[in-house]
Amino acid sequence: MFNALVSEFVLDWRLSGKAPQTAVSYAKFLLSLAEFDCDPDLVSVKEWISKSNSVSVRRKRGQSVRAFGAWADTNGYEVFSWWKQVHLAREAEHPQDTAIESDYLETLRKVSSLRDRAVIEVLWSCGLRRSELTKLNAEDVNFAEGFLIVRTSKTGRPRVAPLSPAARHAVRKLLGKRTQGSLFGMTPNAVRLLLQRLGAPSAHAWRRGWAVQALRSGVSETSVRAAAGWSSGAMVARYTRALSGELAVEEFQRSWC
């Protein structure tokens, strides 16, 4: 019975447009819980969570239980009715590597090919994940209106990512007269190695930098979320938390001009 509910939970999660990988992770933890106790209550869940020495794993176990409990409540299933009493382990926050404009300019000075320049311009312009970048095709670029279509994202839903004039120019030069096929012809690992060779920040650091730079330039949080493929403001807050004070000062200064 419990396994069937977990399967339904995963299905509903995916149908709602949420990240499929998260559903798979939650299901793995929930099935692990069922092995620990076939009929878990609040006490046994807390014991199961505490079994891990990793704060990150304890937090993820708690998140899986809370997500499943919330789903069960919504659907009228009388299981995990105590889910709100499951506390999440607090992880220590560490400064995250974030690309800034000087990184972008310095990296551009090091590129030696049209492809490498286009990769950097798209990373700085669109904030794509490595996997999204490498799945782009020539036909996904709309030069007339200045955007890319990200057909395969982490959430499983396509989205549109604005393309800056500089990125548009770099991609146009890369493609030449070509209108089909892979845009970059690279694997995610090839992108990682390219950035390492250029002494540049990681792709995820570019994604964080893109979000911060967009907000700093006055782009609304709603637009940043849409372009990044985030369903809530949680990721925006996570990426920009370290610079929130600086961003607030800049926003107030703009309002006084």
Q: 231 pLDDT exceeds 80?
A: no
Same domain, 45 and 149: no
pLDDT score, position 194: 96
pLDDT score, position 212: 86
Note whether residue 142 is domain-resident. yes
**37 vs 48: CA distance, rounded Å:** 9
pLDDT score, position 12: 92
By the 8 A CB rule, do 142 and 148 touch?
Answer: yes
Same domain, 228 and 113: yes
Note whether residue 96 is domain-resident. no
pLDDT score, position 165: 94
CATH number of the domain bearing residue 8: 1.10.150
Note whether residue 92 is domain-resident. no
pLDDT score, position 72: 94
Same domain, 247 and 152: yes
Same domain, 175 and 117: yes
Averaged pLDDT for residues 215-237: 77
The mean pLDDT value of the chain amounts to 87
Note whether residue 198 is domain-resident. yes
Query: pLDDT grade, residue 99 (50/70/90)?
Result: very high
Same domain, 42 and 78: yes
The residue range of the domain holding 211 is: 101-256
Note whether residue 90 is domain-resident. no
Q: E-strand spans in the chain?
A: 141-142, 147-150, 159-162
Q: 256 pLDDT exceeds 80?
A: no
The span from the first CA to the last CA of the chain, in angstroms, equals: 62
For 15-52, letters b (16+ CB in 10 Å) and e give eeebbeebbeebbebbeebeeeeeebeeeebeebbeee
**Domain end position, chosen among 15, 50, 85:** 85
Same domain, 77 and 127: no
Closest by Cα among 121, 113, 228 to 168: 121
**Domain end position, chosen among 26, 57, 85:** 85
pLDDT score, position 215: 82
Same domain, 18 and 121: no
For 205-227, letters b (16+ CB in 10 Å) and e give bbbbbbbbbbbbeeeeeeebbeb
The two structure tokens encoding residue 79: 């299981």
Burial class (CB in 10 A: 0-12, 13-18, 19+), 3: exposed
Q: How many domains, the chain?
A: 2
Same domain, 74 and 107: no
**Domain end position, chosen among 50, 85, 120:** 85
Q: 100 pLDDT exceeds 60?
A: yes
Averaged pLDDT for residues 171-188: 93
Tens-digit pLDDT profile for residues 44-66: 999 999 999 999 899 999 999 99
Same domain, 121 and 198: yes
Same domain, 114 and 144: yes
Closest by Cα among 95, 105, 86, 93 to 208: 95
pLDDT score, position 151: 86
Same domain, 127 and 251: yes
Note whether residue 93 is domain-resident. no
Averaged pLDDT for residues 130-149: 93
CATH number of the domain bearing residue 251: 1.10.443.10
pLDDT score, position 213: 87
Name which residue leads in pLDDT, 94 or 200.
200
pLDDT score, position 137: 95
Tens-digit pLDDT profile for residues 2-58: 889 999 999 999 888 777 888 899 999 999 999 999 889 999 999 999 999 999 899
Same domain, 65 and 121: no
Q: 243 pLDDT exceeds 60?
A: no
